[in-house]
Structure 1
Amino acid sequence: MTVLSRGPERTRVARLGPATALWRPRTVVVCALLLLALAVALLVALSVSVNFVPPARVIATVFGHGTPAERLIVGELRMPRALVGAVVGLALGLSGALFQSVTRNPLGSPDVIGFDTGAATGALVAMLFAGGGVVPTSVSAVLGGVCTAVLVLLLAQRGRSVAPLRLVLVGIGIGATLAAVNSMLIVGAQVYDAQSAAVWLVGNLAGRGWDRLVVLGPVVAVALVLALLVGRSLAVAEFADDRAASLGVAPDRVRLLAVGIGVLLASAAVATAGPIAFIALAAPQVARRLTRATGPNLLASGLTGAVFLVLTDWAAREAFQPRQLPVGVLTGVVGGLYLIWLLGREWGASRPGAARGGRL
């Protein structure tokens, strides 16, 4: 294998026979550190609570050497919720990175352009009119997300291609309409069903068990592999269409494939935990700042989303004892503060004299 350094971002080309792969040392290091941070976040979520379990005992329990009480607390109550949170955060981070790359817009996340709302509509129909259940809710959410995506893509078409800015604007409009539909569904439901649906719409990981992980895990694993396979072509498709075509990439086809994978990831996450806000929007931006690399930064975005959701769910579970907040409340607060900080930073950078004095 030969490794060559090229470009200002220190991209390296690894060659093994006829196969080549591009990688950046900083991105590899960031992903490794994010994996370590995810392991630490999972350990904190399994250990630190009202009923504290020492980290050494948590590790022993994970490997099958815990006491019956530890197996109940760690293995049956905390571990499924933490792992579901990690997989949902991974799915949301990946989905946000895909959509932001397709739209070439930092606001192009599935919760902004309506795909999460469409998946929530499908899940609400299953919950309120078909008795709920893991499989019917999941299938209905995916169908809702797919139908919303098809509608948005059809309305966003300009000629034979999809205009990225038009995609964002149409998606925002469709999302607002579907949010009104969701409110109508809740208002027309029975009181108990309406209360459960309203809590679910905030985004919640409480009560998520192994059955959810069995359904969600394979879907996200397959979508992750597909996303990584399309990632290199998607990075090229971020250029102007004529330049991407000159490099051997069909931009419209790549974007359509990326949208399909992103819709699958977002719909699976919504079906499992409800429409959790801001992770799909913020995780790719944080990952890009950590790696300082161009392109979609898929793996780093997914790991950032996983770490963020596991930690925020643990905080929502423990910070307000004896009550627990839905995790969507806390991600909304943190995401809102992040957006305020980001807008303030950009405003400071755009002020006269900012180039001389540096960014605030």
Structure 2
Amino acid sequence: MVDTQIKKPTQPALDFGRKIYRIGPKSRPFLLISARTAIITGILWIATATLAMYSLVNGSASITVGEALQAVAGNGDSFTTMIVVEWRAPRILLAILLGATLAMSGAIFQNLTANPLGSPDVIGFQTGSYTGALIVMLVIGGSSAATMVGALTGGIVTAMVVFFLASKRGFAGGVRLIIVGIGVSAILASINVWILLTASVEDAIMASLWGAGNLSGTSWKSLALAAVGSIVFIGTAVLLARPMRLMQIGVPFAVALGQNVKVVQIMAVIAGIGLTALATATAGPISFIALAAPQIARRLVHVDGLALAPSAAVGSFLLILADTIAQRINPESPLPVGIVTVSIGGVYFLWLLLREGRRK
């Protein structure tokens, strides 16, 4: 006798790749994160913490992990405390913070423009920040605080000009925004070269070091200023994550669900510009983090849209890795971190081009 009973297919108890966690109210969560995203993001933060501990104890003055922990707890000797607490710790924490802010800014602009090239360093915001800083440093002759204000102002003004020139019927399209941004960036780069050529050799060298992206000389004060400013813009970006995902599906779809698309776009632009401008004002233009980190994050977590959490984790890991390499590749004359990030970004995009070429 044949058993004709239909058996239900067995289902796995838990699918770590597809399970979705909701953060926020049940009816309207402001953040959705898959189990795969959570696991990979956690692994990235563990790798970042491991690299941070290595940078804390390793260098021209080698310190054991126990000595470093004692110095952090306030029980170390004066020499170890100076090395660990006053020099290395704020630099490491600033690298982690700025890597996250730059990556989140890149993710926002790439989502808004629907183009992987729509990052702040391509659109010209970082070049504008450098122009503002150069005017303060070499033309006006302001202090370091005034230089930060000049960099912030330059980045914001450049962003306003780019969006004004790229706007059509009140909206700046993706390709149009990138083309206008590249053109404005080229003009500002020429102005920057002219300012450097008219300055004295010593001033030009110092300004060029700042323009290469440099984390040296970081203090707890500069870290605190960057952290306070970043909290506001990071919070804004997190709150905008859900409406930006809806907009990526389609503007009519987002409008039908009650989203004010124009307000969301304006707030997203403000958050993205603020994250980039703060990072540039604190450490100078650090290229390729905002461009590469979101793309690497999306490939790791297998999503096509906005991926703020993994992008921030990748950005922090890349920047602290670049800073670690910059300090140790030639200990007697450490490199600016921006030079290493450009090298890492170049290698990544070379691999990407070769990979796409093989596919075709």
Secondary structure (helix, strand or coil) at the match of 2:255 reads: helix
Matches within 5 A, 1:10-29: 10-13=19-22, 18=27, 20=29, 22-29=32-39
The structural deviation recorded for 1:10 is 4.1
What is aligned with 2:105? 95
What is aligned with 1:167? 177
- TM-score normalised according to structure 2 size: 0.90
- TM-score normalised according to structure 1 size: 0.90
Tell me: CA distance 1:13–1:85, structure 2 relative to 1, closer, same or farther (3 Å): closer
Tell me: CA distance 1:100–1:68, structure 2 relative to 1, closer, same or farther (3 Å): same
Aligned length: 345
Instruction: Say if 2:26 is the partner of 1:40.
Output: no
Cα-to-partner distance string for 1:175-233 (whole Å, 9 max, x where unaligned): 11111111111111122111111111111111222221122110111111111011111
Secondary structure (helix, strand or coil) at the match of 1:51 reads: coil
Secondary structure (helix, strand or coil) at the match of 2:32 reads: strand
Counterpart Cα distance in 2 of 1:330 and 1:17:
44
Aligned counterpart for 1:70 among listed residues 80, 83, 90: 80
Give structure 2 stretches of 5+ with no counterpart.
1-13
Matches within 5 A, 1:1-360: 9-13=18-22, 18=27, 20=29, 22-349=32-359, 351=360
User: Percent identity among equivalent residues?
Assistant: 38
Secondary structure (helix, strand or coil) at the match of 1:320 reads: coil
Q: Name the aligned partner's letter for residue 153 of structure 2.
A: L
Counterpart Cα distance in 1 of 2:238 and 2:54:
29
Contact 1:237–1:254 (Cα < 8 Å) also in 2: no
Counterpart Cα distance in 1 of 2:249 and 2:262:
12
Cα-to-partner distance string for 1:217-253 (whole Å, 9 max, x where unaligned): 1011111111101111111122332233223223333
What is aligned with 1:358? none
Counterpart Cα distance in 2 of 1:326 and 1:13:
40
Give me the CA root mean square deviation.
Answer: 1.9
Cα-to-partner distance string for 1:19-55 (whole Å, 9 max, x where unaligned): 5453311112222222212211211111111211112
Contact 2:109–2:272 (Cα < 8 Å) also in 1: yes
Q: Name the aligned partner's letter for residue 249 of structure 1.
A: Q
Counterpart Cα distance in 2 of 1:267 and 1:299:
20
Give structure 1 stretches of 5+ with no counterpart.
352-360
Counterpart Cα distance in 2 of 1:15 and 1:180:
47
Secondary structure (helix, strand or coil) at the match of 2:131 reads: helix
Contact 1:128–1:193 (Cα < 8 Å) also in 2: yes
The structural deviation recorded for 1:9 is 4.7
Contact 1:9–1:293 (Cα < 8 Å) also in 2: no
Indicate the structure (1 or 2) with the bigger Cα radius of gyration. 2
- Larger displacement relative to structure 2 (220-229 or 20-29): 20-29
Contact 1:94–1:302 (Cα < 8 Å) also in 2: yes
Secondary structure (helix, strand or coil) at the match of 1:344 reads: helix
Counterpart Cα distance in 2 of 1:289 and 1:254:
26
Q: Name the aligned partner's letter for residue 94 of structure 1.
A: M
